A and B are shown apart, each in its own frame.
Chain A
Amino acid sequence: MSSLVATFAWLERLDWTTALRESPFGYPLIETSHVACIVVFAGLVIMMDLRLVGLAFTHAPLAQIQRRLFPWQMASFVPSTATGILLFCVDPLRYYRNVLFLAKLVFLALAGLNALAFHLKTYRRAEGWDDDLQVIATARLTGAASLLLWSLTIVSSRLIPNNWFK
C-alpha cells in the first residue's frame, strides 16, 4: 500500500500533472471532454442494452445492431478512457481512497466482464441469434445486467466529488 501511495505522490508531483492541476482550464476541460465522450459511449451501450432486453429497436436483428454500433462505442470509449486516466493522474491522492471512486471502478470492471462474457458465449454463432431462444434469454439477462451496471457506474462517478464515506 505504501509503495502505491509513493507512486501516486510521485505522479502528483510531476511537472505536467502539477501544471494541469493548477491551470484554471486544465482539469475542467479534460473533465468536460471525459463527460462528453462518456455520454456518447454509455448512451450507445444503453441503446444496445435496450435492444438486448427487447425494449427498443426490435426491428433490427440483434447481431446486426451490435455490429453496427460497436465501432462507435469503441470510438467514444478510447477517448473516455484516455481522459479518465488523465483525470486520475492529475490528482491521484485525492481519488485512490475515495470510496465512490473505488465503487465506480468495480462497477466498470463488472460491466466490462459482463460484455466480454456475452461476446465469448455468443460470438461464434452470431448469425442465428434471433432464432436461438437460448441466445435471446442470455441477451435479455446480459442487457439487464449491463443497464444496471452502467447506471451504477455513471451515478457513482457523478458522486465522486462529494467524497462521502470517508
Chain B
Amino acid sequence: MLLPLFEWCDGLAMSQAYRDSTYLFPVTQALHLLAVTIFVGAIVIGDLRLLGWGPVGQSRASVARSAQRILLWAGLAVLLTGIPQFTTNALTYHRSWLFVLKMWILAAALLFTATVRQRVAVADEGHLSSWVPRVVGAVSLVLWMSVTISGRLITYYG
C-alpha cells in the first residue's frame, strides 16, 4: 500500500548522496544513537520518578517539566538523524518486519507519552491512587525500551 511512498523516498537526491558517501550514513547512525541515548535518559528519569524511585525529592510534575524540554530537543535530533537512514534504505525497510514493528511500537509509545503519561505526571499528587503513576511509569519504560531494542535488532534480523 505504501510502496509508492517508499519508492519516492528511495529516489530522493538525499538518499542517493547517502548511498554515494562512505561517511555520511555511519556518522548519521552514530548521531542517531547519541540522540536516542539522551531521549531515553529523559524518559527513564521521569519513569523512575513515576515508579516512586530516582529523584523523589522533586515532585513528579517538576521532573516531568524539566525532562520535557530535553525530550523535545532530543526527539527532534532523533527524527532528523532517523529520516535520512529511512529514505536511504526505504526499499529494504519496506520488507523488514522489525522495522514495521518498531514503527508501531514507536507510535504507541509517542501516543502514550503525550497523553496518559503527560496527564499523570503533571496531575496533583494527592488526586491519584499510588498505583496509577507506578503502572504508567512501568508501561512507558517497557514501550520505549522496546522501541530501542527493536530498532537495534533491525541491523541483524531486519
Contact = CB atoms under 8 A, between A and B. Distances in A.
Contacts of B43: 43
Interface stretch (A55-63, A110-118, A134-142): A55-63
A47 B34 contact: no
B41 A59 contact: no
Interface in B40-87: 40-45, 48, 53-58, 62-63, 66-67, 69-70
Interface stretch (B8-16, B100-108, B127-135, B145-153): B145-153
A151 B55 contact: no
A125 interface: no
B53 A72 contact: yes
B114 to A, nearest CB: 20
B62 to A, nearest CB: 5
Interface string A84-119: 000000000000000000000000000000000000
B42 A47 contact: yes
A104 to B, nearest CB: 11
A interface majority secondary structure? helix
Nearest to B150: A32
Contact of A59 (B29, B54, B62, B148): B62
Interface in B140-158: 145, 148-149, 152-153, 155-157
Contacts of B156: 28, 32
A100 to B, nearest CB: 10
Given A43-B39, A151-B34, 16 more contacts: A32-B153, A35-B152, A36-B148, A39-B36, A39-B148, A40-B40, A42-B37, A43-B38, A43-B45, A64-B57, A65-B55, A69-B54, A72-B44, A72-B48, A155-B33, A159-B30
Interface of B: 26-27, 29-31, 33-34, 36-45, 48, 53-58, 62-63, 66-67, 69-70, 145, 148-149, 152-153, 155-157
Interface of A: 28, 31-32, 35-36, 38-40, 42-47, 50, 56-61, 64-65, 68-69, 72, 151, 154-159, 162
4 pairs of A and B residues whose beta carbons are closest in the complex: A43-B41, A158-B30, A28-B156, A155-B30
